[in-house]
A and B are shown apart, each in its own frame.
Chain A
């Protein structure tokens, strides 16, 4: 793909989804990699979920906990601030990506360090933190295996959980062989493409970075308001390394990650691992509350990030997207994601959740964001698997309406009235014509009769942009007589109820 990755905010020059997906669907390797990976995880997830008989109740509790938190978010944010501060941490607030990046860069500079180790984090991807730190002369090393593959390959993430899902083992071996030496310890001689050897190569490469790291940067899966506890759920142990070995820990966390009480974790620690990696429990979960004596970092900073979340919260239909716990189950079941791949979504949040999250966090102004609500067949598989019951199809339809019709939205904390997007003029004209015809029976009848009488002259395919649609379908054949005329002719005289436009 030719478009360069410029971090989350904007993506102004990124092509629309259909344009970007056009290339992806022709890439046989990519299609094969995605098909293999998504089908592997789909079956495993179904099995892991079937193991717990109360899945529906857990899902409902998860939905309610998140909805309640969002409903009282102001209160819980203040509670988080108090609890984290009381536990020895420092809380910062960032309205947008720039402010968050500035806060983190300043905190790192204050330590005098020039490099940081990072735990995989969607929030820091979203704000383009690595690029911002690089501009300040600070090297950020990604330590999650998939993030490492993406970073070494100068690539873009294509999946929430497994950002290198578009790469197969052979491609990963090639990237390790050619790129590792430029970043530190080179790949071992004769590295093969077995996953175990690749994991070993990553272990050796990152070890030296973990052991000397003085600053760690993370996100968090959950923040418990009543205790100020942060939770990071991971598999490899890179998270534990970054959270416990450095002297300074900086966590950048979206304001929607809060849960009110300690007890709430009992729901999500059951639903998240099963939904994301299809495990009963992920290998490692770390929980920390501020700083603790000699165990772990002596300095802890929490950066609370808005960056479009409050705008999303203002949308009555769209706000449910903030329930998302980033499990990526919706990506793995999505027929569109499976074929188009993650890059086509032009955002660090791909797949169905990305299609409703990105246009809300960033607004529907750019070409890519206006096209994302259409990147779906509305089949509903995403809603089915979502562990917090986000009705993704409902939000997609809602956002389509906003794109095509415009209307009220909140941007940067202010209410704005959006103009209808370009490129939907034909759709709007058609809808307006339909409204006129359907509310004027005489007009409808006249139109139908005209269409029936001229049916000999109808083309077999549509002209102009309609050609793409009729290229793979037959146009519906019109009957010689409209249904309503037929009904009247064959049923009206029998004294049935279907007389003269009396059909209600």
Chain B
């Protein structure tokens, strides 16, 4: 007998005492919890996002579309970055004002090559205000998961208000599970020394978030 059959057989025998139950799953769980916490307008939701991002040590900037290239150039300059990783589908205008050398991520880029790059600039899939979380889903403006992991400096651009939701349930509604997903809440951190949070371990130690308004 295969291990698969043995395990499935054991499960069925273990449940022999339980009366049959054919309630469809949608009705089996009472979801009395809230879809979002509190009632906020679009602007307040963005403010809450900014507040929670800062609370977990991300650096938050605001801009409009016209000012974005200058802001990104300023952030890379201030950081002293010589090179910046660029996902394949990033809006080229975002980097129009900077002289920093662009590094394109190729399928065969080795981790060591990526480790030599100073910064990375990406968009995002959705951001969650209540938890201060940005979500990347591997779309062309975000690239492969590794490019936002190895460089020590990540600049992430969020379009407000349309990419911002209030809560975790609302965010999951917008995401496609089959895509590789990364939820990021502040820079890399650890609570492993005396259960106290310290920022900066393996992921980018500096996370800069740019909230860009539509016009």
Stretch at the interface among B21-29, B39-47, B63-71: B21-29
Are B32 and A149 in touch, CB under 8 angstroms? no
In the bound complex, CA of A469 to CA of B138 (Å) = 63
In the bound complex, CA of A270 to CA of B28 (Å) = 20
Q: Mark B169-191, 1 if CB is under 8 A from A, else 0.
A: 10010000111111111111111
Are B168 and A165 in touch, CB under 8 angstroms? no
In the bound complex, CA of A446 to CA of B34 (Å) = 62
> Which one of A38, A87, A224, A269 has the highest number of Cβ atoms from chain B below 10 Å of its Cβ?
A269
Asked whether any CB of chain A lies closer than 8 Å to the CB of B132, the reply is yes
Stretch at the interface among B90-98, B155-163, B194-202: B194-202
> Which one of B12, B30, B168, B193 has the highest number of Cβ atoms from chain A below 10 Å of its Cβ?
B193
Range of interface residues on A (Cβ < 8 Å) = 35 or more
Question: A316-B17, A413-B9 provided; 11 other pairs, C-beta below 8 A?
Answer: A95-B3, A195-B193, A199-B190, A224-B177, A236-B190, A236-B192, A240-B203, A266-B172, A280-B56, A281-B185, A289-B180
Are A244 and B25 in touch, CB under 8 angstroms? no
Are B189 and A236 in touch, CB under 8 angstroms? yes
Q: Mark A23-45, 1 if CB is under 8 A from B, else 0.
A: 00000000001001110110000
Q: Collect the chain B residues with CB atoms within 8 Å of residue A74's CB.
A: 8, 11-12, 15
Task: Give the nearest-CB partner of B202 in chain A.
Answer: A237
B103 to A: closest C-beta gap in Å = 16
Are B31 and A280 in touch, CB under 8 angstroms? no
Asked whether any CB of chain B lies closer than 8 Å to the CB of A500, the reply is no
In the bound complex, CA of A263 to CA of B9 (Å) = 29
A interface residues (Cβ-Cβ under 8 A, vs B) = 33, 36-38, 40-41, 51-54, 57-58, 60-61, 64-65, 68, 71, 73-74, 77-78, 81, 87, 93-95, 99, 143-146, 149, 161-162, 164-165, 168-169, 172, 195-196, 198-200, 202-203, 206-207, 210-212, 224, 227, 229, 235-238, 240-241, 243-245, 255, 260-267, 269-270, 277, 279-289, 292, 294-296, 304, 306, 310-311, 313-314, 316, 319, 332, 410, 413
Say whether, besides A93-B4, A244-B145, A36 and B194 are in contact (CB < 8 Å).
Answer: yes
SS of A interface (majority): helix
Asked whether any CB of chain A lies closer than 8 Å to the CB of B10, the reply is yes
Say whether, besides A41-B195, A61-B29, A211-B112, A237 and B10 are in contact (CB < 8 Å).
Answer: no
Are A196 and B198 in touch, CB under 8 angstroms? yes
Say whether, besides A64-B29, A263-B172, A283 and B187 are in contact (CB < 8 Å).
Answer: yes
Are B201 and A236 in touch, CB under 8 angstroms? yes
Q: Collect the chain A residues with CB atoms within 8 Å of residue B30's CB.
A: 60-61, 64
B interface residues (Cβ-Cβ under 8 A, vs A) = 2-4, 6-15, 17-18, 21, 25, 28-34, 37, 52, 56, 107, 110-112, 115, 128, 130-133, 138, 144-146, 149, 168-169, 172, 177-204
Select A279's contact among B11, B144, B145, B185, beta carbons within 8 Å: B185
18 example contacts (A-B, Cβ-Cβ < 8 A) are as follows A54-B33, A57-B31, A145-B193, A195-B194, A199-B193, A207-B115, A224-B177, A237-B201, A245-B146, A267-B33, A269-B183, A281-B133, A283-B203, A286-B182, A287-B182, A310-B11, A313-B10, A410-B14
Task: Give the nearest-CB partner of A293 in chain B.
Answer: B107
Are A57 and B200 in touch, CB under 8 angstroms? no
SS of B interface (majority): loop
Select A306's contact among B10, B32, B56, beta carbons within 8 Å: B10
Are B7 and A37 in touch, CB under 8 angstroms? no
In the bound complex, CA of A292 to CA of B179 (Å) = 8
B139 to A: closest C-beta gap in Å = 11
Select A284's contact among B18, B183, B191, beta carbons within 8 Å: B183
> Which one of B9, B18, B201 has the highest number of Cβ atoms from chain A below 10 Å of its Cβ?
B201
In the bound complex, CA of A455 to CA of B166 (Å) = 71
Are B15 and A71 in touch, CB under 8 angstroms? yes
Say whether, besides A269-B168, A280-B185, A37 and B37 are in contact (CB < 8 Å).
Answer: no
In the bound complex, CA of A146 to CA of B172 (Å) = 30
Are B7 and A284 in touch, CB under 8 angstroms? no
B144 to A: closest C-beta gap in Å = 4
Q: Collect the chain B residues with CB atoms within 8 Å of residue A41's CB.
A: 191, 195
Are A280 and B8 in touch, CB under 8 angstroms? no
Are A77 and B7 in touch, CB under 8 angstroms? yes
A188 to B: closest C-beta gap in Å = 15
Q: Collect the chain A residues with CB atoms within 8 Å of residue B131's CB.
A: 280-281
Q: Collect the chain A residues with CB atoms within 8 Å of residue B196's CB.
A: 40, 195
In the bound complex, CA of A249 to CA of B182 (Å) = 17
Are A236 and B203 in touch, CB under 8 angstroms? yes
Are B10 and A413 in touch, CB under 8 angstroms? yes
Say whether, besides A54-B34, A235-B189, A313-B14, A71 and B21 are in contact (CB < 8 Å).
Answer: yes
Q: Collect the chain A residues with CB atoms within 8 Å of residue B7's CB.
A: 77, 93, 95, 255, 304, 306, 310
Select B198's contact among A71, A199, A289, A295, beta carbons within 8 Å: A199
In the bound complex, CA of A65 to CA of B17 (Å) = 19
Ranked nearest first, the 5 interchain pairs of A and B with the lowest CB-CB distance are A237-B203, A237-B202, A314-B14, A310-B10, A281-B131
> Which one of A52, A73, A284 has the highest number of Cβ atoms from chain B below 10 Å of its Cβ?
A284
B153 to A: closest C-beta gap in Å = 14
In the bound complex, CA of A148 to CA of B80 (Å) = 32
Task: Give the nearest-CB partner of A39 in chain B.
Answer: B195
Are A144 and B180 in touch, CB under 8 angstroms? no
Task: Give the nearest-CB partner of B107 in chain A.
Answer: A294
Select A288's contact among B180, B197, B202, beta carbons within 8 Å: B180
Select B180's contact among A71, A211, A236, A296, beta carbons within 8 Å: A296
> Which one of B10, B25, B191 has the highest number of Cβ atoms from chain A below 10 Å of its Cβ?
B191
Are A169 and B193 in touch, CB under 8 angstroms? yes
Q: Collect the chain A residues with CB atoms within 8 Å of residue B10's CB.
A: 306, 310-311, 313-314, 413
